[in-house]
Amino acid sequence: MSWLDDIHWDAQGLVPVIAQEQSTGDILMFAWMNREALAKTAETGRAVYYSRSRGKLWAKGEESGHVQTVHEIRMDCDNDVLLLKITQLGHDPGIACHTGRHSCFFQKYENGSWITVEPVLKDPASIYK
> Which domains, from first to last, does the chain contain?
3-121 (3.10.20.810)
Is there a cis peptide before residue 119, judged by omega within 30 degrees of 0? no
Pairing of strands 15-21, 82-88: parallel
Confidence at residue 82, expressed as pLDDT on a 0 to 100 scale: 98
Span 32-43, pLDDT tens digits: 999 999 999 999
Handedness of CA 88, 115, 63, 126 (dihedral sign): negative
pTM for the full model?
0.92
Rounded average pLDDT over 16-29? 97
Q: How far apart are CA 29 and CA 51, in angstroms?
A: 13
Separation CA 28–CA 1 (nearest Å)? 32
The whole-number pLDDT of residue 60 equals 95
Task: State mean pLDDT over 61-89.
Answer: 96
pLDDT in tens, 108-117: 999 999 999 9
pLDDT range class, residue 90, cuts 50, 70, 90: confident
Confidence of residue 128 (pLDDT cuts 50, 70, 90): confident
Q: Which helix (H) or strand (E) holds 26?
A: none
Return the percentage of the chain with pLDDT > 70, whole number.
98
Q: Give the per-residue pLDDT at 105.
A: 96
Q: What is the pLDDT of residue 40?
A: 98
Cα distance from N-terminal residue to C-terminal residue, the chain: 42
